[in-house]
Amino acid sequence: MEIRLGLLRVGDVMIGAVNAEVFNPIAARLKRESPVAGTMMATLTNGSARSGYIPDDASFGKYTFEVVSSRLQPGCAESAIVNGILDLIADARKSD
């Protein structure tokens, strides 16, 4: 499943972008693991992914509409999104 990531840097603020609807714990993990204090996540950016909702790994196994309707498997998207945006942040900081 293709999920597009992006990064917008505004001064000392890093805004990670995902083209799908991401569960909040994934955004919270990004903020926690980011080396930049001013990190946030914007979702549903640059079109929409065919993934449906993107649950965090801990939410899989719960029978909610968002989890049941997701086209993703547990253990894949959360880390890929967080690590992908962290890589974009690292690349952006190289220009400092």
Domain residue spans of the chain: 5-91
Task: Find out whether 92 and 16 touch, Cβ atoms under 8 Å.
Answer: no
Q: What pLDDT is recorded for position 66?
A: 86
Instruction: Give the mean pLDDT of the chain.
Output: 92
Task: Find out whether 5 and 88 touch, Cβ atoms under 8 Å.
Answer: yes
**pLDDT tens digit sequence for 45-75:** 887 778 878 999 999 988 888 888 888 888 8
CA distances in angstroms from 7 to 3, 4, 39, 64, listed in the order given: 14, 10, 10, 30
- Asked whether the whole model's pTM tops 0.95, one would answer no
How far is 66 from 36, CA to CA, in rounded Å?
Answer: 30
**Segment among 33-37, 39-43, 44-48, 87-91 with least mean pLDDT:** 44-48
Alpha helices by DSSP H, the chain: 24-33, 65-69, 77-93
